[in-house]
Amino acid sequence: MQNILITGSAGFIGYHLTKSLLRDGFKVFGLDNINDYYDPRLKIKRLKDLKDYSRYMGCESNYVFSEINIADDNKLFAFFEKNQINIVINLAAQAGVRYSIENPKAYINSNLVGFANVLEACKRNKVEHLIYASSSSIYGMNSSQPFSVSDNTDFPISLYAATKKSNELLAYSYSHLFDLPCTGLRFFTVYGPYGRPDMAYYKFTKAIDNGDTIDVYNNGNMKRDFTYIDDIIEGIRRIIPKPPSPINSSVTTSRAPYKIYNIGNNNPVTLKRFIKTIENALSKKAKKNFLPMQPGDVPVTYANIDDLKKDFNFQPSTSIEKGIMKFVIWYKKNS
């Protein structure tokens, strides 16, 4: 049985991935610094649910959580020395495009220093496969649709996007120099139960339910490749046991064991339709305040997932209507 480390395991994707792996009997180590970017009580609630779930499944010893900041190299390296880790899934990061304009230092510490520490720990401990979170934000103002991993990503328009692009470059260098198998995943607007309160779908649901006005940027004409969390987890699960080999690298002529994939729904939805779907699920009408595009935002994100389909037979199956309904049911139970 392989030991899997998930950094950011108290986060949205980390929580769902941990639960999925525990369900199938994996030994999962979780790291998180439980910062206050959004209410830490939600992260603590996720952790409690994971502990309760592992106890219910009779595998309590299969989930080991440690409160560690990946930017703290001493604690991170000590953790790796103490525990035999086979696979690392790095989901720990300072998230949010707009917040990166307000607080750039948080992104430098977590997304650059922290990620470099993770790479070094993986190298030192001969980790079999590093999977790490990148983002659709790195495509910037790319006008070609859908976004392809072969598109130019040299012009990020937010610090957050720049740090994610840097992650890809750092991972590639470690893969090339030290034969560290690395798979980068460019996530496209993930949503679902236990999601982040700073995300638009969560804020819209809360505001509409309370009768408050919502800010609708770009007059609701933005398009996003909204991807339900279960589809994301299925994609990651398929990738875990199959690290890239040097001969299947399509993004570079190097023989490094390195691969990047888009992981999204491959079906963009306008913000207007997204809000309408939430209204239908809540049976309430939204009060809208239409605003122009915000700095750091892009008009459309749309994933070309042909490589992921070809290599892993990945095919998202959750419609926006079904996914939003599941989220709203969870929200009503937990608000």
Residue 31 has pLDDT above 90, yes or no: yes
Q: What are phi and psi of 123, to 5 degrees?
A: -65, -50
Contact (CB, 8 A) for 116 and 170: yes
Residue 122, token pair as written in the block:
């993986």
Domains of the chain and any CATH numbers: 3-189+229-265+303-317 (3.40.50.720)
Q: What percent of the chain has pLDDT over 90?
A: 77
pLDDT band at residue 13 using 50, 70 and 90 as cut-offs:
very high
Half-sphere exposure of 36 (CA within 13 A, CB side): 0
**Sign, CA torsion 186/269/298/213:** negative
How far, CA to CA in Å, does 201 sit from each of 46, 175, 286, 331? 19, 36, 12, 11
Instruction: State the pTM of this model.
Output: 0.93
User: Mean pLDDT score of the chain, rounded to an integer?
Assistant: 92
As annotated, the active-site residues are: 160
Respond yes or no on whether the N-terminal peptide bond of residue 146 is cis (omega within 30° of 0).
Answer: yes
pLDDT band at residue 17 using 50, 70 and 90 as cut-offs:
very high
Q: What pLDDT, in 10s, does the model give residues 247-277?
A: 654 555 678 999 999 999 988 999 999 999 9
Instruction: Give the best-scoring range by mean pLDDT among 140-154, 239-253, 315-329.
Output: 315-329
> Residue 181 has what pLDDT?
97
Least confident of 50-64, 148-162, 215-229, 245-259: 245-259
- In 3D space, the residue among 160, 150, 177 whose CA is nearest the CA of residue 261 turns out to be 150
> Residue 251 has what pLDDT?
54
CA 33 to chain centre: 16
**Residue range 184-195: mean pLDDT, rounded:** 96
Residue 83 has pLDDT above 60, yes or no: yes
* Cα–Cα distance, 324 to 295 (Å, whole number): 27
Residue 236, token pair as written in the block:
């990651």
